Structures are given as C-alpha cells and as structure tokens.
Structure 1
C-alpha cells in the first residue's frame, strides 16, 4: 500500500539552543488523519522540539518539511496556512469572548494592519461549530470551564485552516470530564483528516489517542513508530526510569501502571 505524502516530516533532526544539540537523529512523519503522540518526562525537550517544528527556533541540523516544501524556505504567513499551534492554556487580562479568541486564528493570515471581516467571522464560527461550542461564541473566556477553554484554543487553531495541529499537553490540568471532552474532539478532528501531533505525560492517553508515538527523555529518542508496538513496558520503563507494567483490558485497551 502506497503511503501518503506527509503534511509534516522531519529527518535526522538535531534540536537545541545556541548551537548546542539537546538531541539528534529525530525522524518523524505525520500524514493526514493521523495522531502522533510525543511522550516523555518534564525537561525532556518536548517544548524545544515543538518550537523547532513551528519554525520559531532553527534546527541545528537535519530537515523539516511541510508537504514538499522545506520549512526554512516558507514565510510565517505560509507556515500559518499549514501549521497551527494549540498551547497548553490561555491566560489573558482581558475578558475576550470565545469568538474574539477564535478570530485571532482566523486573522493570522491577514496583514498586520488588517481587521477581521465577514470571511474571518465565518471561519471562526465554522471552527466553533466543528467542536460543538458555537453557542459559547459570545461567552467571556473567563466564564468557561477548563475543557471549554481548551476547545476554544483548538477552534482558534482550526480557524487558520491549517492541515496540521501541534498541541502542547492539551489535557494538562483538566479534570476527568474535561479530559474526555478534549480527547473526543481530537479523535473527531483526526477522523475528519486533520493531522495532529500532541505531547503528553500519560501513556494511557497515548495508547488511546495516538496512531504513532515518539518516546523522548533526557538521553534522547527511546523509540518511535506505531503506538501499539512501541508502548511496551520495557520502553516506558526506560523512558521514565521506573518499573512499568503493561496490561490490556477485556475491550482491548492498553493500560500502564
């Protein structure tokens, strides 16, 4: 079976700061409709990798491609049409409405002095509708639950109409109900063809959501490939430096302890 052209890929990538590599030899590919989970402890370099993939810091060596185009040759606006970032949380001193926040994504492709118009408002409302929260459009962000805020951030990224979402621990600090709500949204987006790379501290979440996984700790890449194949007790024990047990429930789901 012929593989699709990845929307985002990296080959023999070395990342770091000030010319000093934290890690090297990172390879990844993200095809439409697939979810890649970056799993590892705090301080393992997940944020640095995301910032590199977003073009915010240059790689030390290796290559990042958006489709058939080298990331380094694209402008910020060109990158924004293909790649959107969903941060872990949103802090704002202003009482923006959910629609205001999502319009920031829709307006990402406009010039610096342009204002969102009818087209951008339509994009924003479509993004909110896709996540089932159009009724929250006029609600102030400070009045939303943690899960609802995270869905608004996802909608902001969708309003850029990019094919790839990079999500930084999208369920961190959320309670169970909100984690389920956001996880369901991620599944629906993948089914609709969006390519997603997300970071997580939870192997159970990686097993439930991800098609592929990249295991990264301070010593480098532990393993990468199919999530079901590389999420083993041995690999996770190496990743976290503690004994890990892998179990499969009667419904086929993987669980780790």
Structure 2
C-alpha cells in the first residue's frame, strides 16, 4: 500500500524570528479525519510553529506541504481552500452579525473583488445549522459569549470548505461547559473527514481529543506519534519540568496531574488509581 499524502505536512522544519531558530527539524503529518495535537509549555515556540504551518511566517529551514504541494508554491487563496484557521479568540470593533462572519469563510474561494452570492450564503447558513447555532446568525458578534464566538469561528472554518482546520488553543479562555461544547464540535469536524491541527496547553484535552500528539520542547520535537503512546508521565514531566502523574480513568480516558502541594502524589479524588507510566 502506498504512502497516504498528508493534508498538512512539515519536513525538517525550522522556525523562529530574525534568523534565530526556536525549533528545528520539526516533522509532522496531519491526515484526513484525524486530530493532531501540538502540546508544550508557554514560550517554547508553538505559536511560531503554528504561524509557519499556516504560511503566515516563512520557515528558516525545511518545508511545509499542503496536500503534497509546497506551501511556498501556493497563493493565499489556494492556501485558504486547503487550510482554515480558528484563532484563540476573536476581538473586533465591528458589530458583524454571526452569519456575516461565517460568510467570510464561505467566500474564501471567491476572487478578491467577487461578492458572495446565494450559494455562499446557503453554505454559511448550513455551517451554523450543522453546529446547532443557526439561531445566532442574526446576532451581532459583540453580543455573543466567548463560547458562542468560538462556535461561530468553527462554523466559519466549516463554511470555508477546507480539508484541514488549524486551531490555536480554541478553548483557552472558555469555561467548563463551553470547553465541552467546543470539544464536541472538534470531534464532529474529524468525523466529517476534516483533519484538525489543534494547538493546546492542556494535556487532558490533548489526550481526550487527539489521535496523534507532537510534544514540543525547547529546540524541537520531544516525541511524536499516537497520543496515548507518546504522552507518558516521564515525557510530560520533562516537557513541563514538574513531576507529572498519568492516570487511567474509567472508560479509558487519561488524566494528568502535577504535585498537589499537600504531599499527596496519588490521583485526583474520585478517580481510579490507574497507571502511572
């Protein structure tokens, strides 16, 4: 069986600022219907890597490919047709309606001076309906909660029609309930065959959502592969420079915890003892 071409691929990638590399020899591949998590501490260079994968910053070495084609050979419009982007937050002084914002994604395939028509409006409305938030269509973005805004941004990515979606910590500022809702939407994208590249600070989220994980430490990649295999207690301890325990919860979920400050190295109350690996 031949090699399956990734939707997004990095080969020997070096990223950084002003000619100084933060990360080198980064390799990863995002495939259709899979969720790939980028995980690492603050300041390690994840955002710079993310921006380079999106084509917003030039690589210092190596290359990025979208659907097997070098990113450097693609126009911004061609990139938008292959890779959508969901930022961590949306801040705008404009009181766009939610439908208008989603329509921007639906219109990504149009020329620079073309106006969206009935087909694009229908695609935007369908994206909102798919996430069960079609009632938000006429509501101004400035009146939406943080969780509602994130769902609208995901709808915009769906309307864009790209095969891959890159998400930069989409639940970082959300409460528990909205984190659950956004997580469900992310799984829904993968179930529809869309590849999801998810940057996160949360090991539990990466273990819960991720099919694969890439652990980013200063200088480069610590480990990459299936999330459950890659995210060991030893590697997470090295990654975050604190003692980390990995426990297996009922249902096969993984939970990661650090020192409690009480001399208690056991799992969180109410969980099974699990396996510290």
- What range is the shorter-chain TM-score in? over 0.9
8 A Cα contact 2:24 2:219, kept in partner: no
> For 1:84, what is the secondary structure of its paired residue?
strand
Residue of structure 2 in register with 1:215 after alignment: 215
> For 1:89, what is the secondary structure of its paired residue?
coil
Tell me which moved more, 76-85 or 99-108. 99-108
How far the C-alpha of 1:131 sits from its partner, in A, is 1.2
Structure 1 residues 123-179: Cα deviation after superposition (integer angstroms, max 9, x where no partner): 111211221111211111122222111010111111111001000001011000000
Rg comparison, structure with higher value: 2
Residue of structure 2 in register with 1:31 after alignment: 31
How far the C-alpha of 1:70 sits from its partner, in A, is 0.9
TM-score (structure 1 length as normaliser) = 0.96
Residue of structure 1 in register with 2:232 after alignment: 232
Residue of structure 2 in register with 1:116 after alignment: 116
CA distance in 1, matches of 2:54, 2:110: 19
Equivalence map 1:1-257=2 (5 Å): 4-257=4-257
Unaligned runs of 5+ in 1: none
How far the C-alpha of 1:3 sits from its partner, in A, is 5.2
How far the C-alpha of 1:113 sits from its partner, in A, is 2.4
How far the C-alpha of 1:105 sits from its partner, in A, is 1.3
How far the C-alpha of 1:216 sits from its partner, in A, is 0.8
8 A Cα contact 1:14 1:25, kept in partner: yes
8 A Cα contact 1:222 1:238, kept in partner: no
CA distance in 2, matches of 1:250, 1:113: 54
How far the C-alpha of 1:250 sits from its partner, in A, is 2.2
Unaligned runs of 5+ in 2: 258-277
CA distance in 1, matches of 2:219, 2:57: 21
> For 2:93, what is the secondary structure of its paired residue?
coil
> For 1:159, what is the secondary structure of its paired residue?
helix
Residue of structure 1 in register with 2:270 after alignment: none
> For 2:157, what is the secondary structure of its paired residue?
helix
> For 1:44, what is the secondary structure of its paired residue?
coil
> For 2:12, what is the secondary structure of its paired residue?
strand
Aligned residues: 257
Query: How much is the aligned-residue C-alpha RMSD, in angstroms?
Result: 1.2
TM-score (structure 2 length as normaliser) = 0.90
> For 1:65, what is the secondary structure of its paired residue?
strand
